Amino acid sequence: MKFTDLGLAEPIVKALAAKNYEAPTPIQQQAIPPLLQGRDLCGIAQTGTGKTAAFALPSLDHFARNPKAAPKHSCRMLVLSPTRELAAQIGESFRAYGRFMKISIATIFGGVPINRQIRQLQDGVDILVATPGRLLDLIDQRAFHLAGVEIFVLDEADQMMDMGFIAPLKRIVKMLPKDRQNLFFSATMPKEIADLGGQFLHDPVQVSVAPQSTTAERVRQHATFVNQLEKQALLNETVRREPIDRALIFTRTKHGADRVVRFLAGAGIEAVAIHGNKSQAQRTTALQAFRHGHVKLLVATDIAARGIDVSGVSHVINFELPNVAEQYVHRIGRTARAGAEGVAISFVAPDERPYLKAIERLTRMKCEILPLPDNFEELVAKLPKAAAQQRGPRPNSSGGRGRNEAPRGDRSGGRGRGGRSQEAQSDQRHDRGQPGRAHRGEAGAGTGNDEALRDGQGRPFRRRRKSVGTHKNAVKPVRG
Ligand code: AMP
């Protein structure tokens, strides 16, 4: 199928040609025809599938065929995005696809002064891409209203829910005019998300692409068992050894992300971080530096990284595993874009092993276990003093351990039953944006039962297993 087969208006086809898009992606093939007919749509698709164009192109087509002035203090199309980065990216996509049309597009999100946005919106815009909080601020200040909306898009609905945007979302939906087209996208569709969609979609066309496991299949997945407090030494070593073009390093918390950047800097390795505590300008600068290849390592929390489309990410490093298995699939989906192969390396502390199991169940794949480097003790000893203090006393350091075995003292010592260090717990409390489902899958964590942990076939993890590593150019084990 070609774009010309879809019957899109001429300026749109021209813009696609200018972008060198040859053919619609599967989500575009499925979604564009019914959307052109004005149908509502419920789509299961992740970023990277081309879903932005799937909703942008037919909407632009609608505007090309039904030109009229944008209503004052309102918009004709509203796209809600959970994060600023994704909102900015969607706005840019609309600009690119609509570049040969006379169309006004605004992107608004929090963290930047509101007054400029008020001025920007006073004459009305055709397309508004917004995060829910800032949109409601503008509405509450009577600077904006939703009476002009003809097309409403809710993007990344599952992320919206995770970020606690449900109440604001419902308020927004109530203000929309009755007669409108609704588009609803989510990377996952558990019942609660489907119910949310059901509340405002009318007889929607259902489309679904790239079941999550297909991303996983394209990524060579590795894991190394390592004491939480020694992960920094492993990271420093990993980024030195791996042939990295660009790597995204995931931490669970904002403070954790900053810490990782600091300690990498201490080891002479440049990295930047993006997370919710950074100013918008800082986030934009960091992302640009990463995108343009000035900095190879971007440390991010899940929420900040979600939806970011950077090509050429060769490695995803999970400094900490997410406690929701689906999140892991989103993370590793940042690499292996557009048919390329990617590498994911997860650092698994003893209390994270249940998460690894849940991930392997979801992806129906086994991570290849990479041993710790031979000289790991030395690398740990070389950590800067500040890191050593952060690490605190090494529990039961006299016991010695197998190269692939978690340190004994870490099995429960100093952690309590919850499984996470107090520091990590307080960190997580700091991170208001943490997913509401954060506790799913936590059962059994840190119960001191590591020795009993086995893979899906009941074999102990310690044994080297064959899985994604069957690829001929699998990542070399990190060795000293
Ligand atoms: P999205 O899932 O919307 O974030 O899109 C992922 C990436 O695919 C973006 O960089 C788009 O520019 C690109 N893209 C979208 N549709 C196509 C297409 N039909 N052909 C080639 N690239 C595309």
Is 234 found in the same domain as 132? Answer: no
Distance 154 CA to ligand 1 centre (A): 18
Is 244 found in the same domain as 195? Answer: no
Tell me which of 141-155, 214-228, 251-265, 460-474 is least confident. 460-474
Q: Which of 381, 401, 422 is the last residue of a domain?
A: 381
Closest Cα to residue 332, out of 352, 309, 355, 315? 315
Determine the Cα–Cα distance for residues 138 and 298; give it in Å rounded to an integer: 32
384 falls in which pLDDT band (50, 70, 90)? Answer: low
Question: Is residue 465 included in any domain, yes or no?
Answer: no
Q: What is the pLDDT of residue 421?
A: 34
Q: Closest ligand 1 atom to the C-alpha of 25?
A: 19
- Say if residue 309 is exposed, middle or buried (CB neighbours under 10 Å; 0-12, 13-18, 19+): middle
Question: Is residue 189 included in any domain, yes or no?
Answer: yes
Q: Which of 150, 180, 208 is the last residue of a domain?
A: 208
Is 136 found in the same domain as 29? Answer: yes
Q: Which run of H or E residues covers position 223?
A: strand 219-225
Q: Closest ligand 1 atom to the C-alpha of 96?
A: 12
Question: Is residue 185 included in any domain, yes or no?
Answer: yes
Q: Which of 178, 208, 238 is the last residue of a domain?
A: 208
Question: Is residue 430 included in any domain, yes or no?
Answer: no
Is 198 found in the same domain as 309? Answer: no
Question: Is residue 100 included in any domain, yes or no?
Answer: yes
What 3 state SS string does 344-405 have? EEEEECHHHHHHHHHHHHHHCCCCEECCCCCCHHHHHHCCCHHHHHHHCCCCCHHHCCCCCC
Q: 479 or 183, which is more confident?
A: 183
82 falls in which pLDDT band (50, 70, 90)? Answer: very high
Report the Cα 270 to chain-centroid distance in Å: 22
Determine which residue's CA is closest to atom 6 belonging to ligand 1: 48
Is 247 found in the same domain as 190? Answer: no
Share of the chain above pLDDT 70, in %: 77
Distance 13 CA to ligand 1 centre (A): 15
Average pLDDT value for residue range 314-339: 84
Q: Is the CB of 337 under 6 A from ligand 1?
A: no
Q: What is the pLDDT of residues 206-219, one digit of tens each?
A: 998 855 445 667 78
Other CB atoms within 10 Å distance of the CB of residue 261: 21
Question: Is residue 433 included in any domain, yes or no?
Answer: no
β-strands 297-300, 181-186: how paired?
Answer: unpaired
Is 58 found in the same domain as 189? Answer: yes
Q: Is the pLDDT of residue 97 over 80?
A: yes
Question: Is residue 445 included in any domain, yes or no?
Answer: no
Whether 274 contacts 286, CB under 8 Å: yes
Domain that holds residue 72: 3-208
Is 218 found in the same domain as 203? Answer: no
**Of the residues 25, 30, 99, 313, which should be mutated to test ligand 1's pocket, given the most ligand atoms within 8 Å of the CB?**
25
What does each C-alpha distance from 112 to 142, 250, 277 come to in angstroms?
Answer: 18, 25, 13
Q: Is the pLDDT of residue 110 over 50?
A: yes
Average pLDDT value for residue range 371-382: 90
Q: Closest ligand 1 atom to the C-alpha of 23?
A: 19
Q: Is the CB of 53 under 6 A from ligand 1?
A: yes
Q: What is the pLDDT of residue 438?
A: 30
Q: What is the pLDDT of residues 442-469, one digit of tens each?
A: 222 222 222 223 333 333 333 332 333 3
Q: Tell me the whole-structure pTM to 2 decimals.
A: 0.56
Is 376 found in the same domain as 312? Answer: yes
Residues with Cβ within 8 Å of 260's Cβ and at least 6 positions away in sequence, in order, are 232, 235, 249, 251, 271, 273, 299, 319
Determine which residue's CA is closest to atom 17 belonging to ligand 1: 50
Tell me which of 31-35, 174-178, 303-307, 366-370 is least confident. 303-307
Is 336 found in the same domain as 200? Answer: no
Determine which residue's CA is closest to atom 21 belonging to ligand 1: 21
Determine which residue's CA is closest to atom 20 belonging to ligand 1: 21
Average pLDDT value for residue range 2-16: 94
| Pair of tokens at residue 446 | 């840190």
Average pLDDT value for residue range 283-289: 88
Determine the Cα–Cα distance for residues 430 and 450; give it in Å rounded to an integer: 28
How much is the mean pLDDT over the chain?
79
Question: Is residue 309 included in any domain, yes or no?
Answer: yes
Distance 52 CA to ligand 1 centre (A): 7
Q: Is the CB of 43 under 6 A from ligand 1?
A: no
Is 154 found in the same domain as 279? Answer: no
Q: Number of helices (H) and strands (E) in the chain: give both, helices first.
A: 19, 14
Is 179 found in the same domain as 149? Answer: yes
Q: Is the CB of 49 under 6 A from ligand 1?
A: yes
Q: Is the pLDDT of residue 116 over 80?
A: yes
Q: Is the CB of 50 under 6 A from ligand 1?
A: yes
Q: 22 or 93, which is more confident?
A: 93
Average pLDDT value for residue range 341-346: 90
Is 277 found in the same domain as 158? Answer: no
Q: 242: domain CATH number? A: 3.40.50.300
303 falls in which pLDDT band (50, 70, 90)? Answer: confident
Q: Is the pLDDT of residue 89 over 60?
A: yes
Q: Is the pLDDT of residue 470 over 80?
A: no
| Structural domains of the chain, count | 2
Q: What is the pLDDT of residues 42-67, one digit of tens each?
A: 999 887 789 999 999 999 999 999 99
Q: What is the pLDDT of residue 320?
A: 97
Distance 367 CA to ligand 1 centre (A): 28
411 falls in which pLDDT band (50, 70, 90)? Answer: very low
Average pLDDT value for residue range 277-306: 87
Q: What is the pLDDT of residue 337?
A: 60
